[in-house]
Amino acid sequence: MIGEKPFENKTVLITGGTGSLGKILVQRILSGELGIPKKVIVFSRDEAKQHQMRISYLQKKVSTDESIYQNFAHTLEFRIGDVRNYANICLAVKGADIVINAAALKQVPTCEYFPEQALLTNCMGAANIVQAIQENDYPVQTVIGVSTDKACKPVNVMGMTKAIQERIFTSANILNRKTTFICVRYGNVLASRGSVIPLFHYQIEQGGPVTVTVPEMTRFLLSLNQAVDTVFAALRFGKPGETYIPNAPSAEVINIAKALIGNRKIEIKFTGIRPGEKMHEIMVSEEEMHHTIRRGDYYVILPMLPELSDVITTTSILKKEFSSADSVIDFNKTVALLKQHELMIGEWNHIEDGELLR
């Protein structure tokens, strides 16, 4: 736990900082809501996205909050590099106080076809961060590993590699007592890369059909800002080896499609479950629920390693695994959720990189 202003005068490294989550993280950190940072380092291997991100700040297209741009001018730094490369990671981590690891291969089909690539980014990238801190005795205060609901009882390569990433960061607390390693785990983020919504918007613009896997499929849903809130909560209140999980709502994918189609006469086509997909996602497994507590608005999975456990849970907060099939919101609430996040209107190409729901 590092207080109310964890970013105050700190150097923050965000790997995968040009991704959907990374962009909102940078905005929120630069806003100063949790303290004015000394430096924010965006680390990624895509020079085009870094250039686009830099230009968007220079042209003040990111936000209406003027303080963000005042902080940007002397705070934001871009670095090209790859989490797979140990030397790259050493140069980036050196001097950082806080590391948020958002770099990942996260598309389920891609990871199924190229599992070795998913292993290198999702697992070896995390291991490189841990090794860099340990071998060089870098004074990093906190590392946040960004995970996914697919890491819970994984059936696909993406989930399997993310599950191993969680274990890499959890176990790192034992030999790196000066650094706190914490994970966050959440489901599909509305309108991010990997979200189905940009695809649905595009298909609707083209006159259909809108493609849905199966009618019964459910997914957890939260906004990018709620994902960032989860990272911030873990940073402020998390203890070594814990995993933070938002109590997010879930919806049937068919209702998301129907809500976006509205009164338009557009066909819905069912395509079947893709390789590596689950019908319902799980955020906390039956095994983990016995180690889960409630802290504020979040579930927290306590570390199972005895060296890290200082809390013995005698009563389970959860009576069963936390599944997206448990508390599915109905059609009207799905419409309200999409309206709340302004996803019912606007052109599809406002939303970044539409791809299939994982």
pTM of structure: 0.90
Residue 348: predicted pLDDT: 34
Domain count, the chain: 1
Q: Which domain holds residue 122?
A: 81-187+222-247+282-322
Share of the chain above pLDDT 90, in %: 72
Asked if residue 311 is part of any domain, the answer here is yes
Q: At what angle do helices 224-237 and 20-30 cross, to 10 degrees?
A: 60
Is 333 an annotated catalytic residue?
A: no
Asked if residue 312 is part of any domain, the answer here is yes
Helix, strand or coil, per DSSP, at residue 146 = strand
Helix, strand or coil, per DSSP, at residue 295 = strand
Residue 171: predicted pLDDT: 97
Q: What residue ranges in the chain does DSSP mark as E strands? A: 11-15, 39-44, 76-80, 98-101, 142-148, 180-186, 188-189, 210-212, 218-222, 243-246, 250-252, 268-270, 282-284, 292-295, 298-301, 322-323, 328-329
Tens digit of pLDDT per residue, the chain (358 long)?
566 899 999 999 999 999 989 999 999 999 999 999 999 999 999 999 999 999 999 999 988 888 888 888 889 999 999 999 999 999 999 999 999 999 999 888 899 999 999 999 999 999 999 999 999 999 999 999 999 999 999 999 999 999 999 999 999 999 999 999 999 999 888 766 666 788 888 899 999 999 999 999 999 888 899 999 999 999 999 999 999 999 999 999 999 999 999 989 999 999 998 877 889 999 999 999 999 999 999 999 999 999 998 765 556 789 899 999 998 999 999 999 888 876 664 433 333 433 333 3
Asked if residue 63 is part of any domain, the answer here is no
Residue 150: predicted pLDDT: 93
Asked if residue 60 is part of any domain, the answer here is no
DSSP bridge pairs for 324: none
Digit-coded pLDDT (tens) for 182-206: 999 998 887 666 667 888 888 999 9
Residue 138: predicted pLDDT: 97
Asked if residue 277 is part of any domain, the answer here is no
Asked if residue 259 is part of any domain, the answer here is no
Q: What is the DSSP letter of 96?
A: -
Which residue of the set 23, 49, 106, 150 is catalytic? 150
Indicate which CATH number applies to the domain containing 136.
Answer: 3.40.50.720
Residue 192: predicted pLDDT: 67
Asked if residue 348 is part of any domain, the answer here is no
Residue 357: predicted pLDDT: 37
Angle at 28 between CA 26 and CA 30, to 5 degrees: 65
Query: Measuring CA to CA, how many Å separate 345 from each of 98, 191, 199, 230, 355?
Result: 37, 12, 14, 27, 18
Count of C-beta atoms within a 10 Å radius of residue 82: 18
Maximal CA-CA distance, the chain = 62
Asked if residue 193 is part of any domain, the answer here is no
Residue 14: predicted pLDDT: 98
